[in-house]
Amino acid sequence: MKSKNLSENILRSVKSKGFKYIDLPSVIEANHIVQRSGENFRKFIFSFIDQNGRELCLRPDLTIASCLRYLENNLKGKEKIFYSGQAYRKSQNKKESIIRDQVGFEIIGSKDEKNDDKEIINTSLKSLQNIKYTSGTLTIGNVEIFNLLISKLDIPKRWKLRLSRHFWREKYFNDLLKRLETNSDVDPTIVEIDKKRYFKMLNEDLSKVVAGRSINEILKRFDNKIRDPRGASKGKNVSKIIKDFLQIKCPINKAANELNKFFKKNKINLVVDQKYFPILNNKISKLNVIFSTSFGRQLEYYTGMVFKIDIKHKSKNRNIINGGRYDGLISDLGSKNQVAAVGAALNLKY
């Protein structure tokens, strides 16, 4: 099937599910992308300076362009939208195209999280009916479960924040686990310097502000660092729990059982119901459905359910659809309130 016909058929199938078509700008302000994804992401975007001195860039991601539209137009309430077009991103892989033809669909501003998650996956499955393939896999993960696990671990708050914040940066995350195992983040010399600063500040005006924080706030932080009871043995145990958690991979109907068995074994006060997952069947059409705790590390803005669909087409395995929940993205882009959002993008060049 030619790409144009394929795109039109997919757009029709998405529209039939009650989504409204919208146009998205091809050019957006670069700072929106850089602030959200970090300076390291700058090397992947095509940017330029306009006549007013603003740095603009070709949209590297349709989801961010859609969320900016919702924010900048001061939209409220639920929207079911879909769009199509090209995203432009540089790649370190010379064989990979810098232009990505995509169809995307989203539910924004709705409070019916579980049903919305199911609807996005079901819309993805319906779109897939327009594509020829012999077999495939629907992989489901959940970033929220990982963050809940981290919140229950016996480690300092600063470590919980680090591990949650850098879950998507796999290499750096693994380096953090090594540091946790060896206690290498606690330098005895620095601790002694902190102690001296701590005792000196005790005699100062606690309301005095230094670098945007009061002396009282600084003292509390020093106190937490100095009294940090974590030892190397405790760090090794916590690191092992995290590594074992990220090894869980099973058919979707066993997900709750495997997770609860893991939580019980490690004395983690968490319980997951099988109904928590948007799909309960291990097989949908030609797709095997699996759950993986390590999946969901592709994009920093995912906050809950994540999924991908890989298919076998002409004897080759291809990633065709990616999606998930990103409840924090619109607030990260500038909204005063958090706006629930879930969506998916289908890659037309597979």
Task: Provide the 8-state DSSP code for 162.
Answer: H
Percent of the chain with pLDDT over 90: 53
At 237, which amino acid appears?
N
**Mean pLDDT in residue range 144-163:** 93
Do residues 135 and 285 make contact, with C-beta atoms less than 8 angstroms apart? Answer: no
Whole-angstrom Cα distance, residue 268 to residue 193? 36
Q: Hey, which residues does 100 pair with through a beta bridge?
A: 87
Average pLDDT, the chain: 86
pLDDT band at 150 (very low <50, low <70, confident <90, very high): very high
Number of neighbours of residue 221 by Cβ within 10 angstroms: 13
Does the structure show a pLDDT above 80 at 263? Answer: yes
Identify the band that residue 187 occupies on the pLDDT scale cut at 50, 70 and 90: very low
- Residue labelled with tokens 């709705």: 110
167 or 206, which is more confident = 167
Can you list the domains of the chain with their CATH numbers? 3-149+243-347 (3.30.930.10), 170-242 (no CATH)
Dmax over CA atoms of the chain, in Å, equals: 76
Euclidean distance between CA atoms 56 and 29, whole angstroms: 4
> Where are the alpha helices (H) located in the chain, listed in sequence order?
3-15, 30-37, 62-72, 113-128, 143-152, 157-165, 170-182, 188-201, 215-226, 232-245, 255-265, 329-332
Which pLDDT score, from 0 to 100, does residue 120 have?
Answer: 97
Query: Cα dihedral angle (19, 338, 297, 175), rounded to 10 degrees?
Result: 170
Mean of pLDDT values over 99-128: 94
According to the per-residue pLDDT averaged within each range, which of 84-93, 144-153, 308-317 is highest?
144-153
- Element housing 296 (H / E): none
pLDDT computed for residue 124 by the predictor: 96
Mean pLDDT within 74-91: 91
* Structure tokens, 258: 């495997």
Q: Are 31 and 334 in contact (CB under 8 A)?
A: no
> pLDDT digits over 267-296, tens only?
999 999 999 999 999 999 899 999 999 998
Tell me, what's the pLDDT at 334?
Answer: 83
Q: Which of 66-80, 87-101, 221-235, 272-286 has the lowest mean pLDDT?
A: 221-235
The residues near 267 (Cβ < 8 Å, ≥ 6 apart) are: none
CA–CA dist 330, 334 (Å, integer): 7
pTM to 2 decimal places: 0.81
- What's the confidence (pLDDT) of residue 1? 44
Q: Is 107 exposed, middle or buried (0-12, 13-18, 19+ CB in 10 A)?
A: buried
- pLDDT tens profile 307-327: 999 998 777 888 999 999 999
The model's confidence at residue 53, banded by pLDDT at 50, 70 and 90, is very high
Identify which of 4, 18, 305, 278 has the alpha carbon closest to the alpha carbon of residue 141: 305
Amino acid at 159: W
Percent of the chain with pLDDT over 70: 87
Is 70 exceeded by the pLDDT of residue 255?
Answer: yes
Q: CA 140, CA 232: separation in Å to the nearest integer?
A: 34
How does residue 38 score in pLDDT terms, banded at 50, 70 and 90?
low
Spatial distance between the Cα atoms of 238 and 176, rounded to a whole number of angstroms = 12
pLDDT band at 2 (very low <50, low <70, confident <90, very high): low
The residue that leads in pLDDT, 119 or 184, is 119
CA triplet 49, 54, 56: central angle to 5 degrees? 60
